Structure 1
Amino acid sequence: MSKEAQILTECSHCHQPLLERIEGRDPSKVYCCYGCKVVDELMDLDASLIDHSAIDAGPWRYLDEASIRAKLCKFEDEQQARIAIHLPAIHCSSCIYLLENLAAIEKGILSVQVHFSKKEADIRFRKDLIQLSEIAAILDHIGYKPDFKTHLGESRKGRNKLLMQLGVAGFFFGNTMLLALPEYLDGSLQYDPELQSFFRYLMMAFSLPVVLFSAKDYFSTAWKSLRAGALSIDLPIALGIVVLFSRSAYEVIAQVGSGYFDSLTALVFFLLIGKWYQAKTYRNFSFDRDLRSFLPLAANRLMEDGSEKPVGIDELEEGDRIRIRQGEVLPADSIVLDQDSRWDYSYLSGESLPVQKEAGAKIYAGARLLGKSTLLEVQSSVDHSYLSSLWSQDAFKEEASTKKSRTLSDRVSQYFTPAILIVALVSGLIWWQIDSAKAVLVFTSVLIVACPCALALAEPFTAGSMMRWFGRFGFFLKNNTVLQRLPELNQVVFDKTGTLTRTDSIEVQWHGDQLLFEDQWAVATIALNAQHPLAKVLLGHLQIEEADASQVLQFEEASGEGVGARVRASYYRLGKASFLGLSDEANTTAVYLEKDAKVLGYFSFYQQTRDALDQIAADLSDKYSLSLLSGDNAAEERRFRQILGSKVDLQFNCSPHQKLEYLQALQSKGQKVLMLGDGLNDAGALQQSEVGISLCEKDISFFPASDALLMADAFPKLHRFLALSRMYKPIVYRAFALSLLYNLVGLSVAVAGYLSPVFAAILMPISSVTVVVYSSLYTAWKARKVLA
């Protein structure tokens, strides 16, 4: 490959494929990210790495407020502070090199440590030399825009606890196995009773942290299930651990054997690996989210002297005046005070086109401002906004949630646990009549050999393996109970805007006789004067640079309806069909054009649908009923009827509450609903559905509360993901069958009195490994076959 070809396809520094093209100061070089650009220029001894005159810390000034900074910083005293900042743009070694060397080129930053897998930078800085807002601005300037909301209020306590439990179990499992080797390999220790006794007591001591710390969640869950009158899979596991430890401790204290501490620690270690394996797939995603996850941390409040002061959104009160700038999200329901503001409601109401608002209009929290800055007056606090009422619905309350479901293991355990207890008791009583000493051995062996460790591992390892394969192809599930609900679904409900349509492009088509250039020029000239959001879209479509706004005479605009103006010798009118007194012929949003009282045709506007949408709908309709809910008007009903088919139920002009009520109506008829959406307006419906899936383009930190996350480029494989999910239960059931077969054979031998607790304990991890290997390999084979 030639050097010129490489420059077009590869980064000049790291040689990774170019996903984003960034030009360097050297015309012959191009980079995949700003990290590579700055590092490469640093290697060329470029002295001016950061141009401070080009850095604007204004948008980040709210970070300097003490109340906000206190929530974000891990440590803070009078001189120094330390903060962990999520930087989603980190993607290669150059990013790490650049960020970790910021301390050398930026005064005030003491140290930077990058955690690549977490896309996180731990920064320590001098408060008297640099402000947090300045650090954020520098990071943004060099291409690493910080995401502070990812860490605000986030708790890693549960994840750290599991890792600690796993680490403790693994450490003592390895050491206990080493201490147990002499017991299995030879009998040399029997000639040194004191050393043998010391080793046995040491193994018992090593098992205590495993039982009391690593396995304590099994005891806690088992106790809670008993109190609730249920038998979870954790109950027989906890019982097996207790029996195994008690029997082992008895043998050591009574000096009649070495116990089974190695098998005990191995059992707990393998069980915790199953938990970790399952959690690893979705640990980087926060599925439980509320309105605050999408609002800014602060807003600019106008003071009495006319100055602006950034304050936390919780401090906003009714009557406060705030200024919102382009691209910012409104934190509370407010009244517009300035003229002609434009707002993006797509993530709020589902309306695909921007909305024009005049002074005095009410704007709801969650809307994003387009265009110039706007002054507003707060009408309600953040917690009393219109959208916050969605989170007061029953769909968001855990006690009323329809999504609680027992795992397959729990369902099996309600029969397995009492059956094992009955078998152990009956066997013990029968042998008590024959040989009381052997009765204790049989009772203990039955409980140990039938300990459902393999049964417990079958589901998490199958779920973890399947979820990891889902993740490789862009589908991330919240937990394994979502896998259980997926095969039960019979209804799929789509949001339209941003879900079935692409948010990055609006397609414009002309319908009518060929439009002369002079008419195109006139339309572009009028569009330059118009305030309607479609005017800019139309300008982009026509691409006439010669248009001159000053050539328009007698310009009149009816807000939201249309415009009229004289251009040169002709009078033009553009707008809705009703504005021109016509019947609407378009099956989408349309702007009709009239010249000198003669209709020339119309421009149609619609967002492009996702690739192969008609085929996706056809694949899904084989097994599911389909519905579409949209906050848009019904202009595109005919178009989506053609794409999705005549059997699909189409609902337009739906508010967020109406979407939720629609799903409730379906569920009252016995339907099991999958909801696929992408915005806050879908949050209630996503929670109400049996399975709610958030569709995400690129920024995975910006999606509503859901059960699963589907990357946009993986959308065409939705029917394949659902098909693979239907294989989940059969795979688990086969794994259960293997486990039960092992238990059946082991129980038969144990009840007959031919199986000692030693061999029973040895068989336990063997059966577990067999089930784990089967579950993982068979799931991987099926996943490759279905998804690849």
Structure 2
Amino acid sequence: MESNTCFHCGNEINKKDEVIYDDKNFCCTGCKTVYEIFSQNDLTCYYDFQQAPGATPQDINGKYDFLDNVTIVEKLLEFNENTTSIVSLYIPHIHCSSCIWILENLQKLQKGIIVSQVNFPEKKVRITFNPQETDLKAIVYLLSSIGYEPYISLENYETGKKEVDRSLIYKVGVAFFCFGNIMLLSFPEYFEVQEFWINQYRSFFRWLIFALSLPAFLYSAIDYYKSAYKSIRSGILNIDIPIALGIVVMFVRSTIDIIMGYGQGFFDSLTGLIFFMLLGKLFQQKTYSFLSFERDYKSYFPIAVTKVAPNGTEEAVQVYEIEKGDRLLIRNQELIPVDGILISEKAAVDYSFVTGEEEPIEKKSGDKLFAGGKQLGKSIEMEVLFSVSQSYLTQLWSNDVFQKKFEQKHKTITDKVSRYFTPALLLIAFASLIGWLFVDTYQAFNIFTAVLIVACPCALALTAPFTLGNVLRIMGKQKMYLKNATVIEQMAKVDTIVFDKTGTITTNKKTAIRFVGEELSDHEIYLLKNALRGSNHPLSRRLYDYLPDVSKAMPTSYEELTGKGVLAFFDKEIVQFGSASFLDIEENSEYEKTKVNIKINGIYKGFYIFNNQYREGLADLFEKLAKNYELKVLSGDNDGERNTLLTLLPDATELIFNQKPEEKLKFIENLQTQGKNVMMIGDGLNDAGALAQSNVGIAISENVNVFSPACDGIMDASQFARLDYYLHYAKNAVKTIYTSFGLSLLYNSIGLSFAITGHLSPLVAAIIMPLSSITVVSFVTIMTNLLSRRK
């Protein structure tokens, strides 16, 4: 860094304000103080990622005093519970890898900050902190002191308004103004008009054209220069380098032409090039934001939650139908989908999905419940404060904690191609320039510029994100909600599919249920139904629907052991139901059907037998899948359904019964050690571990709010028979990417052949380049839409 610029922020140093510290020059005391803070906390690596990456800290004394107001802070916090608070702050200065590094190491600068995560595209940092050790105001002042002052607007938080970045539109407008006027002033030159007035004023018009080109050259194209400069400094050659180089070469060459009187130069081509490239970028931006909007909208989960009507009746509704003021019933192990107020007397909420802490937090009536918590124990009722779109359930599902470390092959291909393509392009361009200098000096620079522009691999870089983005949108419309684009590629690789049985290949709808044993009295049915009301297990839900309506009662104590059964206390009365081993009784071998054993007040009453109703289209689905995949069925039940399944499913299907949740997970692990790419289909209750372990975990959603953030997708139960279609569609999407790669490379090859031989002007190249990007986007969009319509 030169001595006349600040070591921290890179600004020019006024000699009278210069501060020298640790043999380094700073423009002010603020920058020197930031350096001191980093130095004292062993964070000077901040300056290794980029020279002078910082910003001069501003004087904010008293600016954030409003953060002393608890009511205001509550509105800003996403989550606030005991020793954990979470806030997302918008920081406009985030611009490079140094910013990410320092903002994700805030815990080293201030006690109480637990972890911070940067969302670079949105310029946001999500900070988890302990409110007993620090507060939001102290964090904001810390960020401001190191040059990362956050932008806080209560209006934005309350109304959800977002500032729209219109800079690209302005740049397109300026470039179009310059291009249009330069073309108009160039008409006499085009038609070689030799009248007296044009000869007399030719020099004036040429310099006027030069002046008109400056706004486009200096303002509209500035992003290309910045990107190329940062790319060169970081040692990586990106696709903006040849574009920036072509623009600069055309401008310098055109200016020399005017000065030396050779002609008017290429200012029309130059401004046209900038205009058409920015127009292409605007089109890409609009298209991608459209896809992103649809993706955000479709991220609402098709899980359901039980809504309690004013008359006490219960109804399962989709989560995005929940409105402020609704009353919800949350059962054991159910996820709280929205922020709300606890109505029941007390609750125990597990916020490990949000905070990582597994210790449940005791809540009492009137306390606030945050979305993302999981209810433990007896069922509770709550009143909704915000609809699901205003909570951060979507953020929870996309949290880095639950992201699998997939091999992102399509990104690697794009990166590799771009990494080698740009150096190769520069080599071809300079070789063409040198070669043509010996033939035609005037033509050499035209060819050099045309090569740089026409071969730009923009279309190549757009292929994967546009294809997968559109597939995500289409699948969302068809009720298959995938976490991110990487899941699509993983689905294309799957060779083994493992199904859970209860609640997955069987439906939770009412079906034939029969009781074997001593007939239950009305009071015992009353106790049993209210104990069943708190359980989320598919058999519990079916039995709850089967039993007659009774008045509501809340257990005084409730415990559900996953995969085993439930123990509920109603004052001095005890209800116990589940497996034979859980009730400590001998298994009745006479009935091999799926069953739930009942024990009331220590006396064994008998069991309910379930004649499983399998999902519609199950046999056809398995027959199709068996042609291309290995199929397995895992069940926690006994093998009473084995014969039924053997008649329904293909012979090669492996059936495994009596599996505990941890055994399901180990089964998936064993398949993966054999080199299998495994997809697990489960109901998200007893299968959470197996869903997380599998290469692709898909949770079936029917009429219960069971949600596993570690799953990769949620499929509406009504679409179960279309699983083969989704897998086939994912494979076709990947094929579309490779086809599009081929088309892009073919286009570049043809364009280069015309450019090198001098048959392509820079202006035509500038028009063709964004058109190629538009062609690729149109191709992948049309193909993915056509493929989605195939049966």
TM-score normalised over the length of structure 2: 0.55
Give the SS at the match of 2:266: coil
Deviation at 1:253, TM superposition (A): 4.9
Corresponding position: 1:401 with 2:405: yes
Corresponding position: 1:705 with 2:710: yes
- Contact kept, 8 Å, 1:674 with 1:692, in 2: the verdict is yes
Deviation at 1:298, TM superposition (A): 9.6
Equivalenced residue count is: 543
- Contact kept, 8 Å, 1:686 with 1:693, in 2: the verdict is yes
Q: Please point out which of 322, 331, 334 is paired with 2:362.
A: 322
Give the match for residue 762 of structure 2: 757
2:451 aligned partner, one-letter code:
V
Give the match for residue 480 of structure 1: 485
- Contact kept, 8 Å, 2:480 with 2:715, in 1: the verdict is yes
Give the match for residue 500 of structure 1: 505
- Contact kept, 8 Å, 1:493 with 1:628, in 2: the verdict is yes
Corresponding position: 1:264 with 2:304: no
CA distance in 2, matches of 1:782, 1:320: 47
Q: Over residues 583-615 of structure 1, what are the superposed CA-to-partner deviations in whole Å (9 max), with x where a residue is unaligned?
A: 24222115599xxxxx99964136754332333
CA distance in 1, matches of 2:457, 2:727: 30
- Contact kept, 8 Å, 2:239 with 2:422, in 1: the verdict is no
- Contact kept, 8 Å, 2:529 with 2:547, in 1: the verdict is no
Residues 699 and 252 from structure 1, CA distance in 2 versus in 1: closer, same or farther, beyond 3 angstroms?
farther
Moved more, 271-280 or 308-317: 308-317
CA distance in 2, matches of 1:244, 1:252: 12
Map residues 309-708 of structure 1 onto 2, 5 A cutoff.
322=362, 366-370=375-379, 396=401, 401-407=405-411, 408-414=413-419, 416-436=421-441, 438-503=443-508, 505=509, 507-510=511-514, 527-528=525-526, 533=531, 541=546, 543=548, 579=585, 582-591=588-597, 603-605=608-610, 608-630=613-635, 632-634=636-638, 638=642, 641-642=645-646, 643-646=648-651, 647-650=653-656, 652-655=658-661, 657-679=662-684, 682-697=687-702, 702-708=707-713
- Contact kept, 8 Å, 1:687 with 1:705, in 2: the verdict is yes
Instruction: List runs of 5+ in structure 1 lacking aligned partners.
Output: 1-64, 76-82, 85-153, 228-234, 332-346, 349-364, 374-390, 546-558, 563-572, 594-598
Residues 737 and 297 from structure 1, CA distance in 2 versus in 1: closer, same or farther, beyond 3 angstroms?
closer
- Contact kept, 8 Å, 1:616 with 1:716, in 2: the verdict is yes
- Contact kept, 8 Å, 2:225 with 2:244, in 1: the verdict is no
CA distance in 2, matches of 1:487, 1:750: 39
Corresponding position: 1:745 with 2:750: yes
Deviation at 1:449, TM superposition (A): 1.0
CA distance in 1, matches of 2:348, 2:580: 43
Q: Please point out which of 66, 69, 73 is paired with 1:70.
A: 73
Give the match for residue 551 of structure 1: none
- Contact kept, 8 Å, 1:494 with 1:629, in 2: the verdict is yes
Give the match for residue 239 of structure 2: 237
Residues 295 and 654 from structure 1, CA distance in 2 versus in 1: closer, same or farther, beyond 3 angstroms?
farther
Residues 717 and 212 from structure 1, CA distance in 2 versus in 1: closer, same or farther, beyond 3 angstroms?
farther
CA RMSD of aligned residues (A): 5.7
2:379 aligned partner, one-letter code:
L
Deviation at 1:311, TM superposition (A): 13
1:648 aligned partner, one-letter code:
E
Q: Over residues 554-587 of structure 1, what are the superposed CA-to-partner deviations in whole Å (9 max), with x where a residue is unaligned?
A: xxxxx9899xxxxxxxxxx999698478424222
- Contact kept, 8 Å, 2:578 with 2:596, in 1: the verdict is no
Q: Over residues 71-111 of structure 1, what are the superposed CA-to-partner deviations in whole Å (9 max), with x where a residue is unaligned?
A: 44489xxxxxxx99xxxxxxxxxxxxxxxxxxxxxxxxxxx
Instruction: List runs of 5+ in structure 2 lacking aligned partners.
Output: 1-67, 79-86, 89-155, 190-201, 259-264, 302-332, 383-396, 534-539, 551-564, 569-576
Residues 687 and 615 from structure 1, CA distance in 2 versus in 1: closer, same or farther, beyond 3 angstroms?
same
- Contact kept, 8 Å, 1:325 with 1:372, in 2: the verdict is no
Give the match for residue 714 of structure 1: 719
Q: Please point out which of 766, 770, 776 is paired with 1:771.
A: 776
Deviation at 1:765, TM superposition (A): 2.0
Give the SS at the match of 1:676: strand
Give the match for residue 15 of structure 2: none
1:764 aligned partner, one-letter code:
M
2:714 aligned partner, one-letter code:
L
- Contact kept, 8 Å, 2:342 with 2:367, in 1: the verdict is no
1:771 aligned partner, one-letter code:
V
- Contact kept, 8 Å, 1:495 with 1:629, in 2: the verdict is yes
- Contact kept, 8 Å, 2:450 with 2:755, in 1: the verdict is yes
CA distance in 2, matches of 1:700, 1:372: 14
Give the SS at the match of 1:451: coil
Deviation at 1:748, TM superposition (A): 0.9
Deviation at 1:764, TM superposition (A): 1.0
2:213 aligned partner, one-letter code:
R
TM-score normalised over the length of structure 1: 0.56
Corresponding position: 1:202 with 2:215: yes
CA distance in 1, matches of 2:365, 2:502: 24
Deviation at 1:762, TM superposition (A): 1.9
Give the SS at the match of 2:754: helix
CA distance in 2, matches of 1:466, 1:500: 26
